[in-house]
Amino acid sequence: MRITYYGHSTFGIVAGGKNLLFDPFISPNELAKDVTVDSIPADFIFISHGHEDHVADAVSIAKRTGATIVSNFEIVTWFGAQGVDNGHPMNHGGEWSFDFGTVKYVNAVHSSVLPDGTYGGNPGGFVVKSDGVSFYYAGDTALTYDMKLLGDYEDINFAFLPIGDNFTMGISDAVIAADFIKCDNIIAMHYDTFGYIVIDKDRAKKEFTDKGKQLSIINIGESIDL
Ligand code: NI
Ligand code: MN
């Protein structure tokens, strides 16, 4: 699968012939100023929770592309009120088969409110299976024992984990999370965007390699194939 990083927790992934976009937060992100939001493709936009740093560009991209918003019921309802007609509401533990593959909305330990103060339901993450490959997009979350369920019952090939600390788990807990989900191929997210989450990237990579795992830190605007 081709994975493109747009900064913070925003990734574009081509899976099953569709463009999946996760948590678009680009135009307010100074680190992503060279990314052209209006050229990002999307067939589906996944929203892990309602915070501004995960939804900022979702309305404009959805209206331009006609993409379907996939999130919890409360967030999909809010996007409907913003004039985004295509939405697929989910809730924790539920799985659905889309044309590109299956999606399960899974637990996250965090909070969730939309930018205008509307209740954003409970935050989550996604397990996506497509083309015989499974990946986990954790969203914003603490290290949680629920991740062991994913390790025991899902066969996760790669995972997007937050590593910036303060608002989410940090590097050391992300290494433990990788153990819990039984996945050695981790892609870093939710770091460096704000002062609270600036990290030492060399230290992060070393903590993972010391445990026999790989941490991919993708430059903003660049792509990797997994
Ligand atoms: Ni958040
Ligand atoms: Mn966040």
Ordered structural domains, the chain, with CATH: 2-225 (3.60.15.10)
Amino acid identity of residue 222, one-letter, is E
Q: Give the pLDDT confidence score for residue 107 in this predicted structure.
A: 98
- How far apart, in Å, are the Cα atoms of 148 and each of 51, 94, 154, 209, 223? 26, 17, 10, 21, 29
What is the enclosing helix (H) or strand (E) of 4? Answer: strand 2-5
Q: Which ligand has the shortest distance to the CA of 189?
A: 2
Q: Could you tell me if 156 and 133 are in contact, meaning their C-beta atoms sit under 8 angstroms apart?
A: no
Distance from Cα 167 to the centre of ligand 2, integer Å:
7
Distance from Cα 150 to the centre of ligand 1, integer Å:
21
Amino acid identity of residue 192, one-letter, is D
Q: Which ligand has the shortest distance to the CA of 50?
A: 1
Calculate ∠ Cα 176-177-181, nearest 5°: 120
Which residues surround the ion ligand 1 when the cut-off is CB under 5 Å? 51, 140
Q: Give the pLDDT confidence score for residue 60 in this predicted structure.
A: 98
The values of phi and psi at residue 207, to 5°, are -60, -35
Q: Which ligand has the shortest distance to the CA of 123?
A: 1
Tell me whether residue 45 is exposed, middle or buried, using C-beta atoms within 10 angstroms of its C-beta: 0 to 12, 13 to 18, 19 or more: buried
Tokens of 123: 């935050």
Distance from Cα 29 to the centre of ligand 1, integer Å:
15
Q: Give the pLDDT confidence score for residue 164 in this predicted structure.
A: 98
Distance from Cα 21 to the centre of ligand 1, integer Å:
17
* Digitized pLDDT (tens) for each residue of the chain, 226 residues in all: 999 999 999 999 999 999 999 999 999 999 999 999 999 999 999 999 999 999 999 999 999 999 999 999 999 999 999 999 999 999 999 999 999 999 999 999 999 999 999 999 999 999 999 999 999 999 999 999 999 999 999 999 999 999 999 999 999 999 999 999 999 999 999 999 999 999 999 999 999 999 999 999 999 999 999 9
Distance from Cα 94 to the centre of ligand 2, integer Å:
23
Q: Which of 28, 37, 5, 13 is nearest to 193 (CA)?
A: 28
Distance from Cα 51 to the centre of ligand 1, integer Å:
5
Q: How far apart are CA 159 and CA 181, in angstroms?
A: 9
Tokens of 145: 């024992």
Distance from Cα 9 to the centre of ligand 2, integer Å:
8
Q: How far apart are CA 60 and CA 207, in angstroms?
A: 38
Distance from Cα 94 to the centre of ligand 1, integer Å:
21
What is the enclosing helix (H) or strand (E) of 60? Answer: helix 58-65
Q: Can you spell out the DSSP letters for 115-179? A: TTS-B----EEEEEEETTEEEEE--S----TTHHHHHHH---SEEEEE-B-SSS-BHHHHHHHHH
Residues with Cβ within 8 Å of 115's Cβ and at least 6 positions away in sequence, in order, are: 50, 52, 55, 56
In the block, tokens 């590097």 appear at 171
Q: How far apart are CA 76 and CA 98, in angstroms?
A: 16
Q: Give the pLDDT confidence score for residue 162 in this predicted structure.
A: 99
